[in-house]
């Protein structure tokens, strides 16, 4: 047991990989429809938004904090951007994404300021900023949903692209969304940043011990602002991508999504105490969560059970990591 | 005459109402080994933090190479060649040994990218400099205390400091490791590097240092070349009184019912066929080199090695100790080695840290009896002479030695029958060391508490135990009455085993 705990501490990815394999094999045995390209592709597509948001949460969790404001930031960035595009009659891809990302960064820096200067607990800060931002959007900007008929067409077409299409056994086509590639590229960049830059290592160091990080000479303020700024950027970007992928900009969207995303990150081996976690683990965690929750339908389980399943995954994953990270007794 | 390497002039520093440093002046020459002594809470760590730029002094100035350096920060102190090994090591438990070693130099060089090859190379060099063997890929949190400390030392040595400050570097090391450390210290001294050394062990101070400064309640009370001091003089300066040690005699009935009886205790690869008995009121010392199985023995008795082979009897009744709950249920208490990092809930108050093991006892119907709990906690703060105005302060505000007393006090509150102490006074100054020992003796004599005391501090064992066991490679190799042995004999015996 001890060496298992040790191995898991070093390579938590194996654990979630094993869970994923078991889940996939079981689901595939119960209903072979699972293995159809259309289903696989749709699962991959469904993990894009959760995945990018999970990367944002991973950054914050690595540093020892937790973020629950990102769905609000994502929606704010998306709704403000789309409203602006509609109002100004502008259509495009690059500029809107730049705007959404910038809004995310700005909001993320607010989180960072509270966490760093006021030494507030990240959970409380992000609960507050998240709620405030949602309130602002609904109260000041608007509550009306922007539907497909008003959505900027270039934006929608961008998110609609497929990487390739295959013809399934029954002759119907199935395409793999190009957004999956986009997600993979973002994940790779975050991975390289975490693994191979001093900034990335300073995030781990901060999670290992803030005082120790300061003593070694890390600029913890810069690191904190970087973490929350980048998390905000990822949230803003993911928000607009989400709107483009579902062809609607709904200011009430993504409510309760934080739990799913945090569940995925913890499932991927990140420690709720900070300092431990990886991009690859997080991606596997996201995929596992998406596979399990989205397969309930083809397993013939009522979708109302979906929330129960998410809750159970959170509990099981946190229990497993807590067991792994348990301290020797005092 | 050249200016000293570093000079402190009339330094003062207060924390709210606590005057931690008061008009402290001190100078350290190039290549000098300087020892800083003082009781727990006298301000040693605070002084170090002032030199290393963690705290800004309220009064006074710091000169390096004769030049005043105002507003020292951790970074600029490092740039001036000041390196500190803190009492809590300040390592990153979640990172590998290699990365812990390489991070600061990568940072100093202003690198933006990490090359893992270079990290390994830097780390390997650092380890080689210290002349020890460490697994570079191990996560630091998986290392034993001594290993963590070696990493911290190796890391500090890497940047070729001009002044190396060590806050109680030897407290968690075994005799042999201390010797190895002293060799390194002398070696770096020969390269012209000064060392400021904090220790509670007289022998070490006298052996290694050239100059000594003693502080008491934040003031310098004695300073000078080491040749002007002996143990008594240092003790007197530190405490303002003399402390004489007299050995512990147990005068119970040897044919009485043993409190603890262990027979044929084995854990494959860790312990082999251990037999021992502890009578009520006995204080039994356990010595042995690192890896001798002493800690494993303690952990087994505390229920942390379920599935051990062999028999354990308490008060003549056979029991199994397969969980910590069972062990506590049988009146066994364990104070671990690494109290500083493992035993305390650092974000909590002193009171809460005291009371964590007493919740069941102090609650009625699941509700904690607040008044009684507070009374008991403050009683124990007084008994253990913990230097704090009230128990509702965060435990982090206490000095290292006082934090340790909190952990010991916590276990004493539950009236244990058998108290297992792993390094009971590591990092505790002479004055409070005597206090802790007095308390342990008193409990042994008046209430028949049995004590198993694991320690590397041989004089401590000789002076405070009535019997001393020596373990080696998991086996009990000697069991002698303390009166029949002494420090020299014991250390000779351990030396022969090494
Ligand atoms: N951050 C802090 N806030 C408040 N008081 C503090 C703080 N740090 C230290 N003190 C107080 O300053 C005094 C000196 O503490 P310091 O840690 O320097 O003692 P020390 O000599 O290192 O003792 P030890 O041998 O126990 O480590 C103590 O009374 C301590 O309680
Ligand atoms: Mg100290």
- CATH number where B140 lies: 3.40.50.300
Percent of the residues in chain B that have a pLDDT greater than 70, as a whole number = 96
Same domain, B98 and B139: yes
* B250, part of any domain: no
Interface membership of A326 toward B (CB under 8 Å): no
CA distance to A188, B314, B317, B322, B324, per residue, from B329 (Å): 53, 11, 14, 11, 8
The whole-angstrom distance between B338's CA and the closest CA on chain A is 9
Helix H or strand E segment including A173: strand A173-177
Nearest by CB to residue A204, choosing from B94, B104, B342, is: B94
> What CA–CA distance (Å, rounded) separates A193 from B112?
10
> What CA–CA distance (Å, rounded) separates A43 from A40?
5
Same domain, B207 and B270: no
> What CA–CA distance (Å, rounded) separates B451 from B453?
6
Q: What is the pLDDT of residues B334-373, one digit of tens each?
A: 887 765 555 677 778 888 888 877 777 777 776 767 788 8
Question: How many A from CA of A249 to the centre of ligand 2?
Answer: 58
Give ligand 1 pocket residues (Cβ under 6 A). Answer: B 15, 18, 20, 38, 40-46, 387, 397-402, 429
Q: What is the pLDDT of residues B133-153, one digit of tens each?
A: 889 999 998 887 778 878 888
Q: Are B457 and B372 in contact (CB under 8 A)?
A: no
Range of the domain at B193: 6-239
* B465, part of any domain: yes
CA Rg value for chain B? 23
User: Quick one: pLDDT at residue B342?
Assistant: 59
Interface membership of B75 toward A (CB under 8 Å): yes
Closest ligand 1 atom, CA of B49?
Answer: 18
Q: What is the pLDDT of residues B191-219, one digit of tens each?
A: 888 999 888 888 888 888 999 999 988 89
> What CA–CA distance (Å, rounded) separates B129 from A15?
38
Same domain, B151 and B230: yes
* B480, part of any domain: yes
Q: What is the pLDDT of residues B23-81, one digit of tens each?
A: 999 999 998 999 999 888 889 999 999 999 989 999 999 999 989 988 888 888 988 99
Q: Are B292 and B471 in contact (CB under 8 A)?
A: yes
Parallel/antiparallel/unpaired status of strands B82-85 and B163-167: parallel
Same domain, B93 and B140: yes
In 3D space, the residue among A275, A283, A63 whose CA is nearest the CA of residue A188 turns out to be A283
Helix H or strand E segment including A10: helix A2-10
Number of domains within chain B = 2
Closest ligand 1 atom, CA of B47?
Answer: 18
> Partners of B420 in the beta sheet?
B334, B452
> What CA–CA distance (Å, rounded) separates A90 from A93?
10
Average of pLDDT values for A283-298?
Answer: 90
Average of pLDDT values for A284-292?
Answer: 94
Phi then psi dihedrals of residue B68, to 5 deg = -65, 135
Same domain, B323 and B229: no
Same domain, B232 and B277: no
Task: Check whether A330 has a pLDDT greater than 50.
Answer: no
> What CA–CA distance (Å, rounded) separates A5 from B495?
36
* B252, part of any domain: no
Percent of the residues in chain A that have a pLDDT greater than 70, as a whole number = 95
User: Quick one: pLDDT at residue B339?
Assistant: 57
Show the domains of chain A with their CATH numbers: 2-26+36-329 (1.10.3470)
Task: Give me the residues near ligand 2 (ion), CB cutoff below 5 Å.
Answer: B 45, 399-400
> What CA–CA distance (Å, rounded) separates A79 from A73?
10
Q: Return the higher-pLDDT residue of A110 and B253.
A: A110
Task: Check whether A247 has a pLDDT greater than 80.
Answer: yes
Same domain, B210 and B269: no
Task: Check whether B241 has a pLDDT greater than 70.
Answer: no
* B81, part of any domain: yes
> What CA–CA distance (Å, rounded) separates B14 from B22?
8
Answer whether B90 sits within 8 Å of A215, measured CB to CB: yes
In 3D space, the residue among B260, B215, B207, B274 whose CA is nearest the CA of residue B240 turns out to be B215
Phi then psi dihedrals of residue B115, to 5 deg = -105, 115
In 3D space, the residue among A289, A314, A293, A243 whose CA is nearest the CA of residue A51 turns out to be A289
Closest ligand 1 atom, CA of B43?
Answer: 18
Model confidence at A328, pLDDT cuts 50, 70, 90, reads very low
Q: Return the higher-pLDDT residue of B144 and A247.
A: A247
Same domain, B234 and B264: no
Same domain, B195 and B267: no
Q: Are A160 and A246 in contact (CB under 8 A)?
A: no
Q: How many residues are given for chain A?
A: 330
Average of pLDDT values for A94-116?
Answer: 96
* B246, part of any domain: no
* B211, part of any domain: yes
Same domain, B449 and B483: yes
Same domain, B348 and B476: yes
Same domain, B198 and B301: no
Q: What is the mean pLDDT of chain B?
A: 85
User: Quick one: pLDDT at residue B243?
Assistant: 58
Task: Check whether A170 has a pLDDT greater than 70.
Answer: yes
For residue A174, the SS3 value is strand
Interface membership of B113 toward A (CB under 8 Å): yes
CA Rg value for chain A? 20
Q: Which of B43, B198, B216, B429 maximizes ligand 1 atoms within 8 Å of its Cβ, making it the mutation to test the pocket?
A: B43
* B67, part of any domain: yes
Answer whether B93 sits within 8 Å of A275, measured CB to CB: yes
Average of pLDDT values for A79-92?
Answer: 94
Tell whether ipTM is more than 0.90.
no
The CA-based diameter of chain B, rounded to the nearest angstrom, is 74
CB proximity under 8 Å: A 215-254 to B: 215-218
């Amino acid at each position: 047991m001890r060496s298992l705990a040790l191995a898991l501490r070093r390579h938590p990815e194996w654990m979630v990989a094993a869970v994923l394999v078991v889940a996939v094999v079981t689901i595939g045995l119960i209903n072979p429809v699972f293995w159809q390209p259309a289903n696989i592709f749709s699962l991959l597509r469904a993990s894009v938004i959760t995945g990018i948001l999970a990367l944002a949460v991973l950054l914050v969790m690595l540093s020892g904090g937790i973020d629950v404001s990102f769905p609000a930031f994502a929606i704010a960035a998306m709704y403000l951007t789309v409203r602006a595009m509609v109002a100004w009659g502008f259509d495009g891809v690059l500029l809107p994404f730049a705007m959404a990302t910038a809004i995310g960064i700005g909001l993320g820096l607010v989180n960072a300021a509270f966490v760093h200067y006021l030494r507030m607990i990240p959970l409380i800060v992000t609960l507050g900023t998240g709620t405030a931002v949602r309130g602002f959007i609904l109260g000041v900007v608007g509550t009306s949903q922007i539907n497909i008929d008003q959505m900027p067409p270039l934006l929608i077409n961008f998110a609609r692209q497929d990487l390739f299409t295959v013809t399934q056994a029954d002759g119907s086509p199935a395409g793999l969304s190009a957004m999956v590639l986009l997600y993979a590229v973002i994940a790779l960049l975050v991975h390289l940043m975490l693994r191979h830059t001093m900034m990335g290592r300073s995030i781990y160091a901060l999670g290992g011990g803030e005082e120790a990080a300061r003593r070694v000479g890390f600029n913890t303020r810069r690191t904190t602002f970087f973490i929350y700024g980048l998390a905000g950027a990822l949230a803003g970007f993911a928000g607009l991508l989400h709107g483009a992928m579902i062809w609607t900009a709904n200011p009430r969207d993504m409510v309760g999504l934080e739990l799913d995303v945090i569940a995925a990150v913890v499932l991927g081996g990140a420690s709720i105490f900070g300092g431990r976690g990886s991009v690859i683990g997080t991606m596997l965690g996201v995929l596992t969560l998406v596979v399990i929750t989205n397969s309930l339908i083809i397993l013939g389980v009522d979708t109302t059970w979906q929330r129960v399943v998410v809750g159970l995954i959170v509990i099981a994953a946190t229990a497993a990591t807590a067991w792994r990270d348990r301290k020797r007794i005092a | 005459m050249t200016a000293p390497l570093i000079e402190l002039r009339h330094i003062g520093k207060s924390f709210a109402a606590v005057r931690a440093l008061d008009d402290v002046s001190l100078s350290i020459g190039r290549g000098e080994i300087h020892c800083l002594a003082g009781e727990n809470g006298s301000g040693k760590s605070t002084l170090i933090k002032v030199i290393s730029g963690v705290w800004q002094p309220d009064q006074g100035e710091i000169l390096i190479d004769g030049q005043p350096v105002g507003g020292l920060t951790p970074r600029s102190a490092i740039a001036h060649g000041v390196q500190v090994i803190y009492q809590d090591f300040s390592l990153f438990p979640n990172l590998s040994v290699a990365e812990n070693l390489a991070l600061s130099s990568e940072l100093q060089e202003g690198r933006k990218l990490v090359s893992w090859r270079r990290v390994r190379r830097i780390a390997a060099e650092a380890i080689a400099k210290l002349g020890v063997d460490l697994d570079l890929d191990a996560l630091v949190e998986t290392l034993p205390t001594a290993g963590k400390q070696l990493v911290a030392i190796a890391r500090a040595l890497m940047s070729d400091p001009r002044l190396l400050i060590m806050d109680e570097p030897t407290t968690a090391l075994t005799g042999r490791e201390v010797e190895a450390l002293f060799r390194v210290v002398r070696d770096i001294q020969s390269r012209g590097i000064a060392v400021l050394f904090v220790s509670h062990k007289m022998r070490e101070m006298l052996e290694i240092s050239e100059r000594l400064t003693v502080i008491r309640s934040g003031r310098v009370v004695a300073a000078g070349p080491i040749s002007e001091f002996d143990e008594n003089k240092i003790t007197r300066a530190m405490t303002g009184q003399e402390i004489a040690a007299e050995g512990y005699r147990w005068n119970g009935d040897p044919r009485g019912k043993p409190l603890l009886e262990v027979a044929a205790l084995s854990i494959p690869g860790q312990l082999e066929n251990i037999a021992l008995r502890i009578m009520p009121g006995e204080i039994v010392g356990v010595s042995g080199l690192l890896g001798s199985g002493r800690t494993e023995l303690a952990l087994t008795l505390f229920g942390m090695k379920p599935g051990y082979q062999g028999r354990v009897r308490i008060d003549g009744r056979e029991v199994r100790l397969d969980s910590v709950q069972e062990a506590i249920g049988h009146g066994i208490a364990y104070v671990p080695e690494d109290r500083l990092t493992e035993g305390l809930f650092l974000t909590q108050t002193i009171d809460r840290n005291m009371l964590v093991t007493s919740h069941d006892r102090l609650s009625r119907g699941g509700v904690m009896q607040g008044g009684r709990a507070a009374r008991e906690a403050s009683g124990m703060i007084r008994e253990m002479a913990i230097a704090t105005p009230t128990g509702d302060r965060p435990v982090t505000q206490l000095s290292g030695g006082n934090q340790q007393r909190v952990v010991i006090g916590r276990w004493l509150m539950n009236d244990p029958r058998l108290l297992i102490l792993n390094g009971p006074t590591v990092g505790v100054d002479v004055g409070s060391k005597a206090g802790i020992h007095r308390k342990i003796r008193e409990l042994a004599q008046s209430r028949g508490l049995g004590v198993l005391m694991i320690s590397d501090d041989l004089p401590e064992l000789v002076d405070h135990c009535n019997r001393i066991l020596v373990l080696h490679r998991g086996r009990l190799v000697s069991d002698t009455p303390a009166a029949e042995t002494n420090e020299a004999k014991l250390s000779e015996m351990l030396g022969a085993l090494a």
